[in-house]
Amino acid sequence: MISRRTLLAGFPAVLAAARTVAPPSPYGAVPSPRQLAWHELEVTAFLHFTVNTFTDKEWGYGDEDPNLFNPEKFDAETIVGALADAGMRGVILTCKHHDGFCLWPTKTTVHSVLHSAWRGGKGDVVRDISQAAARRKMKFGVYLSPWDRNNAQYGTPEYLKIYRAQLSELLTGYGPIFEVWHDGANGGDGFYGGAREKRTIDKNTYYDWPRTWEMIRAMQPEAVVFSDVGPDVRWVGNERGMAGDPCWATFDPVGEDGGAASPGNVRTKESNSGQRHASKWLPAECDVSIRPGWFWHEAENARVKTPAQLTSLYYQSVGRGATLLLNVPPNRDGLLAAEDIASLQGFGAYLRGTFTQNLAARARADATHVRGNDKQFGPAQLLDGRPDTYWATDDKVTSADVTLDLGRPVKLQVIRLKEAIRFGQRVDAFTLERWQSGYWEPLVSSTGIGPRRLIHLAAPIIATQLRLRITQASASPALSEFAVFAEAAPG
Ligand code: FUL
């Protein structure tokens, strides 16, 4: 028989157990830890640099003399410093573009810096950029073109061994890699060791991508792999830096003919918006160049995107839950052009000026529903700036409101919402309102929130209270942020 004493001793534990409210169950596809880390980067830089910089081309044929590559003032610290100052959190270098010229002293080919006059053949762009990035606490990633217009073996199984050996040199010799970038271009004609002919490969089978991806996983388990079909990050379907609205993080790629998809063979129209309820977490990355071309061309010095244009791209990419991969190509000196640096500075100043201070950080938050009435799922979690805490409702609730009382009239123009995406993309639609002398005035209604949704109002407004109405959700909402910002003057 259990004594009264034993019963009482066990009571607080029983009570505590009853009070523990479980987190929501995940809905649909969810991100992996490497994808979660990648989402946080928001803006990363692309560096397109190779013999093309010196030949004024966009696609080198593969017959270039390596001595052409001679960026006498190349300075990785200066380049990476300008990117870091603009708020970029990672940098991806074209270690090899379609011309096959390798920016590191590879053992796999003589078409490389090792055989150029630059620094007496002792230079290594990959080493210098990766080390400068590490010093600025930026992540480093590699672009290695599968198409190689220089290599005599291109098109045969032998080339795949070379491609994988190059990847292995990059993945083992230069510290942690955050992203491996495979583009889908396979243009056909090239030098190919002197053959000067057209070579066509089967995009679906030739590269045997699953085997290469396994290799990347083994060598750099934290790296995300980018291509038209992922497996971690998908191309957004255009090179203009624009994600669809909405841009779902879930996607099941389909080939151009409706069959199997592979890098270079995907219905890119669908890549732009993703698909609601698809089976894979495969978020979009928006690659775009600060100039018309990917490589530096003197004739384009006057056509560098302005800070206002970059800011607009930021809202159309990062603001829709994608990341922005902004290309800033070094010039023939091996430095960024003054025009590009000026634009980056303006863009960086705008981001810092706008997003440093969350005007709702000290607001009072109320919600119509709180999961298990438990404070750990309360709306205050939306304001603490932490990605791991969140407001959630009970499982059966699929529409709910959060009200923010800012305590005084506040001038604002940008609102940032984030779902707690480790539980999947749950919200389908929402409306944002402000309290306006006796009624709730709708400001905007939209579809999907996901990793990040920025609402950039056309003009500043004054508000004391804001209300977010989750009007439709496929599973009970779980949000990690509701932040409010004033807009800085464009840089
Ligand atoms: C494409 C390439 O053909 C372009 O030259 C550039 O590198 C772009 C980012 O990817 O596939």
CATH number of residue 65's parent domain: 3.20.20.80
Does the C-beta of 287 come closer than 6 Å to ligand 1?
yes
Domains of the chain: total: 2
Are residues 416 and 312 part of one domain? no
Domain assignment present for 180: yes
Does the C-beta of 147 come closer than 6 Å to ligand 1?
no
Total-model pTM: 0.95
Is the pLDDT reported for residue 12 higher than 80?
A: no
Q: Which residues of 219-257 are buried (b: 16+ CB within 10 A; e: fewer)?
A: ebeebbbbbbbbbbbbbbbbeebbbbebbbbbbebbbee
120-151 pLDDT per residue, tens: 999 999 999 999 999 999 999 999 999 999 99
Lookup result for tokens 């059966």: 396
The per-residue pLDDT for 2 is 43
Are residues 303 and 379 part of one domain? no
- Helix or strand run (H / E) with residue 135: helix 125-135
Cis peptide bond prior to 246, omega within 30° of 0: yes
Domain assignment present for 76: yes
CB contact at 8 A, 56 and 64: no
Are residues 194 and 319 part of one domain? yes
Residue with CA at minimum distance from ligand 1 atom 6: 294
| Least confident piece of the model among 44-48, 200-204, 325-329, 431-435 | 200-204
Q: Where residue 457 sits, what CATH number does that domain have? A: 2.60.120.260
The per-residue pLDDT for 19 is 60
Residue at which a domain ends, from 355, 378, 407:
355
Domain assignment present for 173: yes
Distance of CA 193 to the CA centre of its chain: 36
The band of 187, judged by pLDDT with boundaries at 50, 70 and 90, is: confident
Residue 283's Cβ-count burial label (10 Å; 0-12, 13-18, 19+) is: buried
430-439 pLDDT per residue, tens: 999 999 999 9
CB contact at 8 A, 312 and 264: no
Domain assignment present for 6: no
3-state secondary structure of 31: coil
Structural domain containing residue 449: 364-485
CA contacts within 13 A on the Cβ side of 386: 9
Does the C-beta of 226 come closer than 6 Å to ligand 1?
no
Are residues 348 and 331 part of one domain? yes
Are residues 299 and 225 part of one domain? yes
The mean pLDDT value of the chain amounts to: 95
Are residues 369 and 344 part of one domain? no
Are residues 396 and 319 part of one domain? no
Mutate to test the pocket of ligand 1, among 92, 183, 287 (most ligand atoms within 8 A of CB): 183
Mutate to test the pocket of ligand 1, among 50, 99, 271, 294 (most ligand atoms within 8 A of CB): 294
Are residues 244 and 178 part of one domain? yes
Are residues 300 and 169 part of one domain? yes
Does the C-beta of 183 come closer than 6 Å to ligand 1?
yes
Taking each helix axis as running N to C, give the angle between helix 338-355 and helix 307-317, from 0 to 180 degrees, rounded to the nearest 10: 50
Domain assignment present for 18: no
Atom of ligand 1 nearest to the CA of 289: 9
Are residues 369 and 351 part of one domain? no
Measured in degrees and rounded to the nearest 5, phi and psi for residue 454 equal: -100, 130
| Least confident piece of the model among 2-16, 58-72, 76-90, 152-166 | 2-16
Query: Rounded to a whole number, what is the distance in angstroms from the first to the last CA of the chain?
Result: 77
Q: How far is the CA of 296 from the centre of ligand 1 (A)?
A: 14
The per-residue pLDDT for 230 is 96
Is the pLDDT reported for residue 16 higher than 80?
A: no
3-state secondary structure of 231: coil
Is the pLDDT reported for residue 259 higher than 60?
A: yes
CA distance 127 to 124: 5
Sequence letter at residue 463: A
Domain assignment present for 15: no
Domain assignment present for 151: yes
Are residues 160 and 136 part of one domain? yes
Measured in degrees and rounded to the nearest 5, phi and psi for residue 252 equal: -120, 100
Is the pLDDT reported for residue 1 higher than 70?
A: no
